[in-house]
C-alpha cells in the first residue's frame, strides 16, 4: 500500500501526542505495516527466567536434553514441525505494568491508552507458558514465507470476528530468546491487514472463528492477496506487537538456536470505533484499519451481537458437530457471494467451500 494519506495524518499526530513509549516513527510503522518491534520492552532478566522454566518443562515432561540437539526433534501433534511445543508453564502470573512497564506503555499507546483496556490495564497479566521452536540444523523443510503454505491464520479462536471486535486488540509477542533469521521466527503477512479489513467490512454479521483459524476456508483467498512477507526476528527482551488482523504462521527452525516466545491477547473495554467524534482520538490499531480501507472514517454497523465460542480443540462431540454445521452454512453463504476457496488450498490442508460454488 501507499503511505498514510494526508486525511489520516492529523489523526496520527493526535494519537502520537498521547504516546508514552512509542516514537512517531514506530507509531507510523505500525499503522502502515501492521506491526512494530519495541526493543528492550521487557527486562532481559524476566526473559531469562521464563526461558529457564521452559527448558525445565521440556526436560522433565518432554524428554529433551538442552545440551543435546538430537533430542529436540520429537514429533508433535498435528501439522506442527518437530521441536515445536506449547508449554503450559507454572501457575505464576505477572502484572504487566509492573513486570515490564515499557511493554505495558507501548501496548497502551497502540490501543489508545490504558483506559481503553479492560480494567484500565490493571488486569493485564502475563504467565510463563511459552511456545518453543527448538530447531533442526539445516532442516531441508525450511522455506521462505509465501502464500501457498499451510498454517496461515488470523488469531482469535474464541469469538465471532467483526471489524470492530474488542476481544483481541493486539497480538502481543514477547521474545524470551534471541531470534535470528531461519531460526523459527513467526512468518508475518505484512500486507494482510487490508484484505482482512475489507472482508470484515463487507461481512457485518461477523465471521465464525473457524473460517479464519486453523485450516479455515477463508484463509487461502486472503493470503493469496498478500505479497509482503517477513520473518519475525529480534533479541530476548524485545516485544513484537501485531495488528489483530495480521495473518501469520509458524516457520521451520533450521538452526540449533532454540526460539521461545508467547502470544498474548489484550482485551478492550469497548469495541473499536472508526468514526469517532471530534476531539476523541483514534487508536493506532483503528488508524491501521482506516489506512487499510483507504477511508478517513468508516461508520461500521454490525448486524449481529458479539458472540463467544469455545475454541475448536476443546469442544465436546455434540458441540463440535453443531459448530461444524454452522460453519458449513457460512461456507455456503460465502460461495453464494462469489467468495470461493482457491483450488490450491487442498494441497496445503485448508478447508474449502468449492462444493457449494
The alpha carbon of residue 175 and the mean position of all alpha carbons in its chain are separated, in whole angstroms, by 14
Single out the residue of 164, 168, 243 nearest to residue 204, CA to CA. Answer: 164
7-21, 127-141, 210-224, 231-245: which has the minimum mean pLDDT?
Answer: 127-141
8 Å CB contact between 166 and 261: no
Residues 21-46 have a mean pLDDT of: 98
Residues 12-37 have a mean pLDDT of: 98
Single out the residue of 240, 248, 197, 217 nearest to residue 110, CA to CA. Answer: 240
187-189 vs 171-174, strand pairing mode: unpaired
CA atoms within 13 A on the CB side of 130: 26
Rounded to 10°, the helix 9-17/24-33 angle is 130
Q: Using the predicted structure, report yes or no on whether residue 80 has a pLDDT greater than 70.
A: no
Domains of the chain: 9-326 (2.60.120.620)
pLDDT score at 255: 94
Averaged pLDDT score across all residues of the chain: 95
8 Å CB contact between 179 and 279: no
Residues 198-211 have a mean pLDDT of: 98
The residues facing 294 across adjacent strands are none
Q: Using the predicted structure, report yes or no on whether residue 75 has a pLDDT greater than 70.
A: no
pLDDT score at 147: 98
Residues 150-172 have a mean pLDDT of: 97
Q: Which has more pLDDT, 81 or 118?
A: 118
Please tell me whether residue 206 adopts helix, strand or coil conformation.
coil
pLDDT score at 310: 94
Residues 302-322 have a mean pLDDT of: 95
The CA-based dihedral angle spanning residues 158, 161, 162, 166, taken in that order and rounded to the nearest 10 degrees = 30
8 Å CB contact between 275 and 281: no
Residues 259-268 have a mean pLDDT of: 97
Q: Using the predicted structure, report yes or no on whether residue 74 has a pLDDT greater than 90.
A: no
Quickly count: other Cβ atoms within 10 Å of residue 71's Cβ: 16
Q: Using the predicted structure, report yes or no on whether residue 77 has a pLDDT greater than 60.
A: no
Amino acid at each position: 500500500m501507499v503511505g498514510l494519506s494526508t486525511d489520516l495524518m492529523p489523526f496520527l499526530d493526535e494519537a502520537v501526542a498521547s504516546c508514552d513509549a512509542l516514537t512517531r516513527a514506530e507509531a507510523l510503522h505500525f499503522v502502515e505495516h501492521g506491526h512494530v518491534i519495541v526493543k528492550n520492552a521487557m527486562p532481559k532478566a524476566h526473559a531469562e527466567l521464563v526461558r529457564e522454566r521452559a527448558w525445565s518443562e521440556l526436560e522433565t515432561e518432554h524428554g529433551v536434553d538442552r545440551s543435546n540437539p538430537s533430542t529436540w526433534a520429537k514429533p508433535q501433534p498435528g501439522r506442527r514441525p518437530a521441536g515445536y511445543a506449547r508449554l503450559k508453564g507454572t501457575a505464576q502470573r505477572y502484572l504487566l505494568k509492573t513486570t515490564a512497564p515499557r511493554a505495558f506503555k507501548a501496548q497502551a499507546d497502540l490501543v489508545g491508552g490504558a483506559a481503553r483496556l479492560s480494567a484500565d490495564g490493571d488486569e493485564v497479566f502475563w504467565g510463563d507458558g511459552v511456545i518453543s521452536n527448538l530447531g533442526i540444523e539445516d532442516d531441508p523443510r525450511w522455506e521462505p514465507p509465501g502464500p501457498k503454505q499451510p498454517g496461515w491464520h488470523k488469531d482469535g479462536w474464541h469469538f465471532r470476528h467483526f471489524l470492530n471486535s474488542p476481544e483481541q486488540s493486539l497480538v502481543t509477542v514477547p521474545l524470551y530468546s534471541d531470534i535470528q533469521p531461519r531460526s523459527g521466527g513467526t512468518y508475518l503477512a505484512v500486507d494482510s491487514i487490508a484484505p482482512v479489513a475489507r472482508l470484515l467490512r463487507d461481512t457485518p454479521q461477523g465471521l465464525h472463528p473457524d473460517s479464519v483459524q486453523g485450516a479455515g476456508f477463508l484463509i487461502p483467498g486472503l493470503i493469496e492477496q498478500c505479497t509482503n512477507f517477513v520473518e519475525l526476528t529480534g533479541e530476548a527482551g524485545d516485544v513484537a506487537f501485531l495488528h489483530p488482523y495480521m495473518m501469520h504462521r509458524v516457520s521451520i527452525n533450521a538452526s540449533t538456536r532454540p526460539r521461545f516466545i508467547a502470544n498474548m491477547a489484550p482485551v478492550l473495554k469497548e469495541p473499536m470505533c472508526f468514526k469517532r467524534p471530534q476531539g476523541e482520538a483514534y487508536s493506532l490499531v483503528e488508524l491501521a484499519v482506516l489506512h487499510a480501507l483507504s477511508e478517513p472514517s468508516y461508520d461500521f454497523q454490525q448486524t449481529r451481537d458479539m458472540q463467544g465460542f469455545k475454541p475448536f480443540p476443546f469442544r465436546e462431540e455434540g458441540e463440535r458437530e453443531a459448530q461444524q454445521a454452522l460453519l458449513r452454512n457460512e461456507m455456503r453463504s460465502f460461495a453464494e457471494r462469489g467468495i470461493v476457496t482457491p483450488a490450491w488450498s487442498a494441497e496445503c490442508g485448508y478447508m474449502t467451500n468449492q462444493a457449494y460454488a
